[in-house]
Amino acid sequence: MSDPGPRRTRAQEEAAEWLARLGNHSISTQTVRDFRTWRDDPVNDAAYEEAEAFWEASGRHAADPEIMRMTQEALGNTRPRTVSAWLRRPTGAVAAGALGAMAAAAAVVFTGSLPPVYATQDIEQKVVRLEDGSRVHLNVDSRVRVRFTRTGREIILSRGEAFFDVSHDPARPFVVTAGEAQVRALGTKFDVRRKASGEVQVVLVQGSVQVTSSGGPSAVTLAPNEQAVLGRDGGLRTARADAARTTSWTTGRLMFRQTPLAAAVAEVNRYSDRDVILADPELSHRVVSGFFDVGDTESFAKGVAALFELEVTLRADGAYQLSPAGIPAAPGA
């Protein structure tokens, strides 16, 4: 049986180095990918938790002198501002075919002096830390405007989707406006999405939020794992929600639970410039479950093909076509 001691020491050194790298103002997609792969090892994961806990303690509690030495050395004695909370490994088994790396471009920005607008492109994500400590994770093709005053914090989501992790400040309500919907929170975590259909969906992960419609007197208060949907007609309705599935995109993976294949394909296609296409409409109603890496269209297509015994063909236009055996592929654009 090998001695775990030396491996543990290496893990601590690497954890300190990761803490330093994740404290940078801008983090590339490759850095995110490498960090998640490194942290898949339970020993590395435990070492990172330990190193991060040391800095969170800010010297108020006793810490392992070796962790202190290595972390200070890696960080140059500068307290980091890490993004590890956004990079937790998702729980649950990974479905067959959920392979490959996150291909959607991701950038992480931390700043105390914020410009008024943040936006992402078609296959880009971004994490912004606001001046009050709140965090906004922008999904692909999304745009927000930020306005803070002494009495309030206002975010306008003009397109796309954003996940909000709000710092508690009773004196300054945190309000997100998305079309005709307004979401008010003090300290909580929730997701807001403006759909192409014109609907606005709000899903609560933690805490409590109030959702109102500027087009009518209706207002609802959500509890965790509940959602509010504001329809194009101005009607506001609520329902149960799977918050973990809805916000799985923030971890770099998409989670599906008995999801109709057509809906899963539409979601996967949001994150890649290579679409998946169903050749037969009858395939739309089949259901799929599992985790798939954001932007890895090829692995999704091959995984679904293996699951349902379909053929996957790369078309001339770069799309992946799924079809029952024997049906010829369309030529593509």
Q: Which of 62-71, 92-101, 310-319 has the highest average model confidence (pLDDT)? A: 310-319
- Quickly state the pLDDT bin for 124 (edges 50, 70, 90): confident
pLDDT confidence of residue 331: 55
Region 297-309: what's the mean pLDDT?
93
Which 8-state DSSP code applies to residue 25?
A: S
pLDDT confidence of residue 51: 76
pLDDT confidence of residue 104: 45
pLDDT confidence of residue 123: 80
pLDDT tens, position by position, 76-100: 544 444 444 444 444 433 333 333 3
Region 131-158: what's the mean pLDDT?
92
Beta bridge partner(s), residue 190: 164, 204
pLDDT at 5 over 50: no
3-state SS track over 297-326: HHHHHHHHHHHHCEEEEECCCCCEEEEECC
pLDDT confidence of residue 58: 43
- The percentage of the chain sitting over the pLDDT mark of 70, rounded to a whole number, equals 71
Region 129-140: what's the mean pLDDT?
90
pLDDT confidence of residue 13: 82
Q: Could you tell me which residues come within 8 angstroms of residue 24 by beta carbon, excluding any fewer than 6 positions away? A: none
For residues 260 and 68, the model is more confident at 260
pLDDT confidence of residue 49: 80
pLDDT confidence of residue 55: 60
Taking all residues of the chain, what is their mean pLDDT, rounded to a whole number? Answer: 79
pLDDT tens, position by position, 216-258: 667 899 999 999 999 888 889 999 999 999 999 988 889 999 9
Domains and CATH numbers, the chain: 4-87 (no CATH), 120-245 (2.60.120.1440), 252-324 (3.55.50.30)
- Quickly state the pLDDT bin for 111 (edges 50, 70, 90): very low
Q: What's the token pair of residue 333?
A: 């654009």
pLDDT confidence of residue 59: 42
CA atoms of 64 and 47, how far apart (whole Å): 12
Q: What is the DSSP string of 207-270?
A: S-EEEEETTSS-EEEE-TTEEEEE-TTS-EEEEE--HHHHTGGGGTEEEEEEEEHHHHHHHHHT
CA atoms of 44 and 42, how far apart (whole Å): 5
List the single range of 20-34, 138-152, 220-234, 296-310 with lowest mean pLDDT: 20-34
Neighbours of 146 (CB within 10 A): 18
Region 19-46: what's the mean pLDDT?
68
Comparing CA positions, the residue from 164, 167, 110 lying closest to residue 136 is: 164
Helices then strands, counting H and E runs in the chain, come out as: 7, 20
